[in-house]
Amino acid sequence: MKAFWTRAILAPLYDLGQHALASLSNLIGMLVLIIFGLILGWIAKEILYRVLRALRFDRLCDRLGVGQVVERTGMARSSSYLAGQIVQGLIILATLLAGLNELGTPLTRNLVDRFFLYLPHLLASLLVLIGGALVSRFLGRSVLIAAVNAQMPSARLLSGLTPVLRHGADGGRCPR
C-alpha cells in the first residue's frame, strides 16, 4: 500500500514540484529580464531625449517636416521624446522576447521565431511610412508655393491632395 502511495501519488507530485520549481526559475528569470528591460528602457529614453535635445534634433526634424507631423498627430511632445520612446519600446520588446525565450517552451520559442521573421517587414513598412511622410510633405509644400505664386485660387486644396496621392502610392508599395 505504501509502495502504491509512493508510486501513484507522491512521485507524480514530486515530479510536478520539480517541474514547477524548474518553470518557476524560468518564470522568475523572465520577470527579472522584463523588469530589467523596463528600467533600462526608461534610462535609455531619458538619456537619448536629453542628448538629442542638446544636439537640437528637434530643430532638424522641424526642418525636415517631421516635427510638425509628430505635433499634429499627437504622438509625442517632441521629436526627441518620440525617438527616446521608440528606443525605450525596442529595449522593452527585446527583453520581453528574451524573457519569453527563457521560458523555453515550444510555444514561446515559436512566437519569438515568428517575430524575428516578421521584423524585416515591420522595419521596411516603418521606413516607407516615414519616407512617404517626408516626401509628401515636401511635395505638398512645393505644390502650395507654386500654386500660390501662380495665383491659383485652390492652392491649398491642391497642396492638400498631394500627400493623399503620395500616401496612396506608398500604400500600394507597402511590404506585406
Partner 1 sequence: MGGAEIIVGIPSYNNADTIGHVVRAAQEGLQKYFPARRALIVNSDGGSKDGTVQAIDQAHLNTQMILSVSHPLYPVHHLTTPYHGLPGRGSAFQTLLRIAELAQAQALALVDADLRSLTPEWFDLLLRPVLDREFDYVAPYYKRHKFDGTITNSIVYPLTRALYGRRVRQPIGGEFGISGRLASRFLRGGVWSTDVAQYGIDIWMTTTAIAENYKVCQCYLGAKLHGSKDPGPDLGSMLMQVVGSVFGLMETYDSVWRNVLGSLPAPLLGVPFEVGVEPAPINLGRMFASYQQGVRDLLPVYQSIISPRQLEGLKAAAALPEGEFALSDELWVAVVYNFALGYHRRVIDREHLVRSLTPLYLGWVASFARQAENETAAQVEARIEKLCLVFEQFKPYLLNQWPLQTGEKRSAS
Q: Using the rule CB under 8 A, is 72 a contact of partner 1?
A: no
Non-local CB neighbours of 165 within 8 Å, separated by 6+ positions: none
Q: Which of 31, 124, 145, 165 touches partner 1 (CB under 8 A)?
A: 145
Q: Nearest approach, Cβ of 79 to partner 1 (angstroms)?
A: 15
**Mask for 104-143, x = binds partner 1 (CB under 8 A):** ----------------------------------x--xx-
**Interface with partner 1, residue 156, by CB under 8 A:** yes
Closest by CA position to 142, among listed 127, 122, 163: 163
3-state secondary structure of 105: coil
Q: Phi and psi at residue 175, in whole multiples of 5°?
A: -60, 140
DSSP 8-class letter at 104? -
21 near partner 1, judged by CB under 8 A: no
Spatial separation of the C-alpha atoms in residues 136 and 32, rounded to whole Å: 44
The residues of the shown chain that bind partner 1, judged by CB under 8 A, are 62-63, 138, 141-142, 144-149, 151, 153, 155-156
